[in-house]
Amino acid sequence: IEQAAEVAAERGMDKLKFEVQDWFDLPAEYRGRFDGIINIHTLCCFKTVVPAIEALCDLEPRWIALNALFYDGPLDVLIHIRDHTNPAIGDDNPDGDFNVFSLPLVEEVFRKKGYEIQHEAFYPPEPLPRPEGGARGTYTVATEWHERTQFSGPVHLPWRFVFASR
């Protein structure tokens, strides 16, 4: 938060305010208070995405920007990496989750809540090397989808940016 506020101030946006909150547990007075909500890299830790998207929309921001792992079809995929070199990431630790959600489902949820959405696939601007020993960590592989398709270990990471607005 401090870094975002510093960058905003350096760029003349000193009236911009950032807050970190649990959007499932906000008091009613937060409804309609936000111009926008940014959510980065957390949705893939949820077992289902619909309640999370609905809760964000129920806060009534003008826009929501997020990134997550999405499949352009009617399927969700629940993935949990069991890292045998890091016992701290047990089966109940969401840091091992790489869940992929149905993009058409997410589009439908946003539309029902009164939002129009735009989305775009994300690929790194440069190739990323594969971690040694098959360890966890994002790397890229040339595939029929893109020359820098992302993986972590054996898992394909179909990152997308989504922007929803009223």
Core vs surface per residue 14-39: b (16+ CB within 10 A) or e: eeeeeeeeeeeebeeebeeebeebeb
For the cut 80, the answer to whether the pLDDT of residue 19 exceeds it is: no
Q: pLDDT tens across 136-150, in order?
A: 899 999 999 999 999
DSSP string covering 55-71: HHHHT--SEEEEEEEEE
Residue type, 30: Y
For residues 161 and 67, the answer to whether their CB atoms sit within 8 Å is yes
**Average pLDDT score over residue span 30-47:** 89
Q: Select the more confidently predicted residue: 140 or 42.
A: 140
Query: What element of type H or E holds 19?
Result: none
CA distance 95 to 104: 25
Q: Give the pLDDT confidence score for residue 41 in this predicted structure.
A: 87
**pLDDT confidence of 29, banded at 50, 70, 90?**
confident
CA distance 104 to 100: 12
**pLDDT confidence of 22, banded at 50, 70, 90?**
confident
Alpha-carbon distances, residue 40 vs 28, 91, 102, 159 (angstroms): 23, 22, 17, 11
Q: pLDDT tens across 72-116, in order?
A: 999 999 998 888 888 888 888 888 888 999 999 999 999 999 999
